[in-house]
Structure 1
């Protein structure tokens, strides 16, 4: 049996503000544990079966932690580094766009809250997805993934690879 991925954590020097950002942009529940130290973003729902019904698998959660003192850690003072990585590549988070939402709404909501849109309207044929990307106010890259369909329906203004 493989080991199971249960969380991915994003750094933010203000976890409470980041929790509000993701709650407002994606509609996720901001479950602070405790507020300002560690926030668990709960997307809710279950992964869908191929027929669209709920499976027995709950959606993954995203954690938000303060790099000044990343918890948990055996030392009450935490460990260095204590700042957000600003340069170079970092892990990226992929979010599937809900069938009742749009990339335009998500990108607009993110931008209104301080995010930077990195690209829009790109088709990646390898995984048959329509994608878009933004950088949140803390430097984390969030890629939006939309289903292109079978056969794929790619709008004329999309770039391709």
Structure 2
């Protein structure tokens, strides 16, 4: 078996606020841990089989760590740096939009809560998907994704690559 991705986390200077942000934007469960120093976001559900039924593989969770003292670490007081990275590129996270939601609703909610919309209405032929993006209030970039399917119909107002 190869190495497997099991978890990732974002740094925030306010994990409580970030947990509430993601709960409202995506409808995920916000599971605060360690007195709010770390939040586990629980998307819930299972990855789908090709026929649309649930597989036995649960969706990945992600965490929100406190930039002032990211846990786990052998030193309980934490170490430098204790601030958010503000310059340059960061990792981007891709979210498959569920059939009962829309990119427009997600972007509107995220923007209302302090996010910045990076782009709307783009089609990426290489991976046959429609995408939209925002930067959360802590600088993390989120790409929203909808699968193009067989013979995708690309609206005229979408950019393409």
Class of the TM-score when normalised by the shorter of the 2 chains? over 0.9
- 2:34 and 2:142 mapped to 1: Cα distance? 24
For 2:129 and 2:113, the matched residues in 1 are separated by 26
Counterpart of 2:95? 95
Which structure 1 segments of 5+ residues have no match? none
| 3-state SS of paired residue (1:84) | coil
Q: How does 1:34-49 map to 2 (within 5 A)?
A: 34-49=34-49
Q: Is 1:24 paired with 2:48? A: no
1:16 touches 1:35 (CA, 8 Å); kept in 2?
A: no
SS at match of 1:126: helix
- Residues 75-98 of structure 1, C-alpha deviations (whole Å, 9 max, x = no match): 011121111000100001100000
Segments ≥4 residues shifted beyond 6 Å: none
Alignment of 1:93-132 (within 5 A): 93-132=93-132
SS of match in other structure, 2:8? strand
- C-alpha displacement of 1:62: 1.1
Query: Which residue of structure 1 aligns with residue 79 of structure 2?
Result: 79
Which has the larger displacement, 26-35 or 127-136? 26-35
The residue aligned with 1:159 is 159
* Paired residue secondary structure (1:110): helix
The TM-score, its normalising length taken from structure 1, stands at: 0.98
Give distance in 1, aligned partners of 2:64 and 2:83.
14
Q: Residue 15 of structure 1 aligns with which residue? A: 15
Q: Which residue of 2 aligns with 1:66?
A: 66
Q: Deviations over 1:51-70 (max 9, x none)?
A: 00000111011100011000
1:120 alignment partner, SS class: strand
Residue 117 of structure 1 contacts residue 133 of structure 1 at CA under 8 Å; is this kept in 2? yes
Partner of 1:32, secondary structure, is strand
Between the aligned partners of 1:43 and 1:138, the Cα distance in structure 2 is 20
Local SS of the residue matching 2:106: helix
